[in-house]
Structure 1
Amino acid sequence: MPAARESLLDAAYTALGRRPWTAVRMVDVAAVAGVSRQTLYNEFGSKEGLARALVRREADAYLAGVDRALATRTEVRERLAAAAEWTASSARDNALVRAMLTGCWSERLPAPTLSAVPSSSAVPAQRRADGPLPSPADFVALVRDRAVAVLSAPGTPKSDTAELARSCELVVRLALSCVAAPPGEGGVTDLVHTVLQRQPTRAGGPQVRSISR
């Protein structure tokens, strides 16, 4: 029931914005979604299952936003700046994304374990949610690898790809630092521009302006 599943996750996310997760009741989530409580349990198995699925969905939405940001411009530096801006704004606007990126889970939020949990669910999406959830270190690697895959020109030497990977990881970590301590005038973009200007320039590297993928 994909439509019911999304409605339930939407209802859970809305409820979390209004009260601590410990005060969110399954029966209320089901009522807001317009389905029975049994349907909710059939989809997620438990409140912990609902929490894991909600966290997984927000993680996927954040990473999809990274992909969109990396595809918006032709200049490497601007693409990386866009991804950094998206990271900072997502963390500012979404408490679950902020917790996932920083590892700081407040008492208001669900705190599902990052490791995989045994699953008896027949729902493929829930079995996926029962798998391991990304840690802050995982997000750094995921975003870095996405950026390298998008920004690397065909035939780029391994040494230049490695250099690009280092620059991408530097930008990701810079963005995460801005989550913890918001930047001043100029914002994240100016910081990314300043940092990348200091990186060595090679074919396929972060300052090459001709990449159009």
Structure 2
Amino acid sequence: MSEVRAALLIAAEAHLARRPWSAVRMGEVAASAGVSRQTLYNEFGSKEGLARALARQAADGYLAGIERALARSAADPRERLRAAADWTVAAARPGTLLRSLLTGCWGDPLPAPRPARTTATAPAQRRAELPLPGPGDLLAAARDRAVAALDGAAPRTDPRELARECECVLRLALSRVVAPPVVGGGGAGRRRGRVTGPSPRAGGR
């Protein structure tokens, strides 16, 4: 990613943190990044293109966080998978693009990117025009990363069973994103943001 593009995305995120997407102005984003308005349009094509780039950046950041969580030094695969689930809950805070990407629920304050209608020539713009990942796509990508990271940690685990168990734990994390636990409620899982649900058998044998 070019320095200019990165600076524009940082500036757009800063403006989005302070106001609804409908109130974010392209000229103000460009000024905050220290570039011209035309440079902003050259990079993203339109405000819609900027919205798509922000959403894709959020998706990429989530999957990178999943990989970091799975790369923990803990030998127990259950702890590594739990770390990935905890990252999902922590990263998908209310009002974030990631939460909307994971749940498919978009509110007025956030940009809900529409399918791209043009064909770009720049590689970055071509990627931005690809369909954005939906909740199922992101969950599948996170599951596949978990399977790849944990495969071999428990050689006797059937790969299909490992995939099912990884998906189960990540779906449990997603359920806590959609319906957070009641603070102060009873039960072993009452700690906010901590996934304490069933662990996969991988590593538990």
Q: 1:45 to 1:97 in 2, by over 3 A?
A: same
| CA deviation vs aligned residue, 1:24-52 (integer Å, no higher than 9, x gap) | 11000000000000100000000000100
Do the aligned residues in 1 keep the contact of 2:8 with 2:30 (CA within 8 Å)? yes
Equivalent positions of 1:155-170 (< 5 A) are 156=155, 160-170=158-168
Counterparts of 1:131-210 in structure 2, within 5 Å, are: 131-153=130-152, 156=155, 160-183=158-181, 184-187=189-192, 189=194, 191-192=196-197, 195-196=198-199, 201=201, 205-208=202-205
Q: Matched residue of 2:190: which SS?
A: coil
User: Post-superposition shift, 1:122?
Assistant: 2.6
- Cα distance in 1 between the residues matched to 2:149 and 2:168: 16
Show the counterpart of 2:185: none
CA 1:188–1:26 in 2, change beyond 3 Å: closer, same or farther? closer
**Structure 1 residue 69 corresponds to structure 2 residue 60:** no
Q: 2: CA distance between counterparts of 1:90 and 1:39?
A: 31
Aligned to 2:84: 83
Structure 2 alignment gaps of length 5 or more: 182-188
Distance 1:134 1:148 in 2: 19
Deviation (angstroms), 1:186? 3.5
2:111 alignment partner in structure 1? 110
TM-score between the two structures when normalised by the length of structure 1: 0.85
3-state SS of paired residue (1:92): coil
Gapped regions of structure 1 (runs ≥ 5) = 209-213
3-state secondary structure, aligned to 1:182: coil
The equivalent of 2:184 in structure 1 is: none
1:122 and 1:136 mapped to 2: Cα distance?
Answer: 28
Q: How many residues align?
A: 197
* Of 24-33 and 180-189, the range deviating more from structure 2: 180-189
* Cα shift at 1:66: 0.3
Higher helix share: 1
What is the distance in 2 between the residues matched to 1:175 and 1:65?
14
Question: Offset of 1:120 from its aligned partner?
Answer: 3.1
Which deviates further from its counterpart, 56-65 or 86-95? Answer: 86-95
TM-score by length of 2: 0.89
Q: Distance in 2 between matches of 1:154 and 1:78?
A: 12
> Matched residues in 1 for 2:106 and 2:153: separation?
41
TM-superposition CA deviations, 1:44-63 (whole Å, max 9, x none) = 00000010011101110111
Distance 1:188 1:165 in 2: 23
% identity of equivalent residues: 56
Amino acid at match of 2:132: L
